[in-house]
Structure 1
Amino acid sequence: MENLVVLLELAYSAGSPSISDVMRLGFQREVQEERGWFSFLRGWCINVADRLVYLNTIIEELEYCLRNMFAAQLLVALRSGDDIVFVDAIMYFKAIRDFEAQKLENLQLFLRASEMEVTRRMQFAARFNVM
């Protein structure tokens, strides 16, 4: 029943009883919806990429402090065994960074698949535009 309602709404919005006009409008709406999703994915990719830069900076700072304990002492009061804390923190942030890098790779793969889907839907919409 829901599909029938959508079809009737499309026919009404198209302003024409012609099935080609209804199909053209349907594909145009699909393209618009996919472009909105596409925009969201791009924004999410930028967000994850920024997070990767942030995590890399934290890791670099921790590694610097581990190599140069005097510099670390200027920032915090060190105790015996704090070098192990630095190593643990570095490993922790590297694990998070690796997870975020994998997430970014997956998002980019999904983005490429979405690009292909938008192109395909635009091709279908174009076919109905010439009718």
Structure 2
Amino acid sequence: MDNLVRLLELAYAAGSVSAVEIMRLGFQREVQEERGWFSFLYGWCVHVADRVAFLNAIIQELEFCIGDMSIAELVVELRSDDGLVFADSIMYFKAIRNFEAEKLANIQLFLQASAAHLNRRMQFLARFNAM
């Protein structure tokens, strides 16, 4: 029933009962939806990439502090076991960074697949626009 309702809605929106017009409008809507999804994925990639860069900066600062504890003493009061705290913190942030980097790689793969899918839908739309 949903398919029939969708078909009737497309026919009404197209202002025609012509199969070509209905298909053209259907593919046009599919392209618009896919472009929205592509835009969302791209924004998510940018967000995760920024997060990875932020985590890299934190790790670099912690590694710098553990390499030169006198610098860290200028910022915070250190105790005898704080070197271990720095080492644990570095391992923790590296684990988070690795997870985020893997997530970014997966999202980028998904983005590539989405781009290919969008191109395929745009080709179908071009066929119906030419008719």
Q: TM-score range by the shorter chain?
A: over 0.9
Rounded Cα–Cα distance in structure 1 between residues aligned with 2:61 and 2:122: 48
Rounded Cα–Cα distance in structure 1 between residues aligned with 2:125 and 2:50: 36
| Ranges in structure 2 where 5+ consecutive residues have no aligned partner | none
Q: 1:3 offset after TM fit, Å?
A: 1.2
Map Cα deviations across residues 42-96 of structure 1 (whole Å, 9 max, x no partner).
Answer: 1111111111111001000000000000011111111111111100000000000
Map Cα deviations across residues 109-128 of structure 1 (whole Å, 9 max, x no partner).
Answer: 00000000001111111111
How do 1:52-63 residues align onto structure 2 when only pairs under 5 Å count? 52-63=52-63
Rounded Cα–Cα distance in structure 2 between residues aligned with 1:31 and 1:99: 32
Alignment partner, residue 70 of structure 2: 70
Alignment partner, residue 117 of structure 1: 117
Cα root mean square deviation, aligned: 0.7
Q: What is the TM-score of this pair, normalised by structure 2?
A: 0.98
Alignment partner, residue 97 of structure 1: 97
**What is the SS of the residue equivalent to 1:79?**
coil
| Ranges in structure 1 where 5+ consecutive residues have no aligned partner | none
Rounded Cα–Cα distance in structure 1 between residues aligned with 2:47 and 2:129: 37
Rounded Cα–Cα distance in structure 1 between residues aligned with 2:24 and 2:30: 10
Q: What is the TM-score of this pair, normalised by structure 1?
A: 0.98
- Aligned pairs, how many? 131
Rounded Cα–Cα distance in structure 2 between residues aligned with 1:102 and 1:25: 38
